[in-house]
Amino acid sequence: MEEYTGFAKIYDEFMDNTPYDAWARRIEKLIAEYGISQPASESNDCAAKSSAADVDAERNLIVDLGCGTGRMTEKLSDAGYDVWGIDASEDMLAIAMEREEEAHRGIRYLCQDMRDFELYGGAGTFISVCDCMNYLLTMDDLALCLRQVKLQLCPGGIFIFDFNTRYKYQTVIGDRTIAEDRGNAAFIWDNEFLESASEEELFSEDGNQADGKYRNINVYHVSFFLRDERDADLFHRFEETHYQRGYTLEEMKRAVQSAGLVWITELDSDTDGPVCDTTQRIVVVAGVKQ
């Protein structure tokens, strides 16, 4: 699942329209309504009255799965929470840790796979935003991630995550080309939606007949161009291919419940209202019993 190598250099520039502030506020609201984690100012008051300081620290910890360059991680840290970030991309984490060295927020970053990670303790809240869950291409991969979350969630803890729907990949962006020019950087993004594909079709140039191992996969080929810092007439070209699976609400609910998590609620990410047939991104709150 090592993704975002060359693109890490310009990821934040092209993601500047991502509504991280609004997403962070929603996460805080959902934690307050359904969860147990508290920001430092509130948790310190509780810890002063309790001898179980280590337990309080775990309950109040938020872990950002697929944190990338740490933008959401930083938003929640700035809101007073104790936050860790986990990502499989060393390049993305290098950018996150460079900013951490400058800001000294106290965020801890770990380079681990979201299907197999270890906190050496528990956490009161897990989050995963910006369709990181869609990089889990099979139901087995999804189950591995959800079981790890279940294993390391504190009693009463919650997992807040979003995912892009099959409808979005198949109907909205499937087989479309998207391009953007920022002057010093540009990209061309070609999408291809595959209802069924074999491993050879996805990960080798000479594809075989589909065996159905992978379903509802959006393949996007990204070519991006970055202006040379010393020669304004020179651009460096990078190419990457990414794979994401579109899930239905029913598939995700079955996976969450099969992993032993309690399904708490779901909402449309764009409207904060009920999910409908044309919802493109769904936000889920799941958890473990107190």
What superfamily would CATH give domain 6-165+247-287?
Vaccinia Virus protein VP39 (3.40.50.150)
Checking if the pLDDT of 29 tops 50, the result is yes
Please give the pLDDT value at position 204: 59
Checking if the pLDDT of 16 tops 80, the result is no
For residue range 108-147, what is the model confidence (pLDDT) as tens digits? Answer: 999 999 999 999 899 999 999 999 999 999 999 999 999 9
Calculate mean pLDDT across residues 225-239: 89
Please give the pLDDT value at position 141: 97
Please give the pLDDT value at position 208: 41
Checking if the pLDDT of 251 tops 50, the result is yes
Calculate mean pLDDT across residues 76-104: 96
Q: What percent of the chain has pLDDT over 70?
A: 88
Checking if the pLDDT of 227 tops 70, the result is yes
Please give the pLDDT value at position 7: 62
Q: Crossing angle, helix 40-48 and helix 53-60, to 10 degrees?
A: 160
Checking if the pLDDT of 11 tops 90, the result is no
Question: What CA–CA distances, in Å, run from 158 to 138, 146, 185, 216, 242?
Answer: 23, 12, 39, 28, 29
Checking if the pLDDT of 1 tops 70, the result is no
Please give the pLDDT value at position 287: 99
218 compared with 55, residue with greater pLDDT: 218
pLDDT category at 212 given cuts 50, 70, 90 is low
Please give the pLDDT value at position 20: 95
Please give the pLDDT value at position 3: 54
Domain boundaries, the chain: 6-165+247-287, 167-245
Checking if the pLDDT of 45 tops 70, the result is no
CATH class of 167-245: mainly beta
Average pLDDT, the chain: 90
Amino acid at 184: N
Please give the pLDDT value at position 15: 75
Checking if the pLDDT of 246 tops 70, the result is yes
Calculate mean pLDDT across residues 2-16: 63
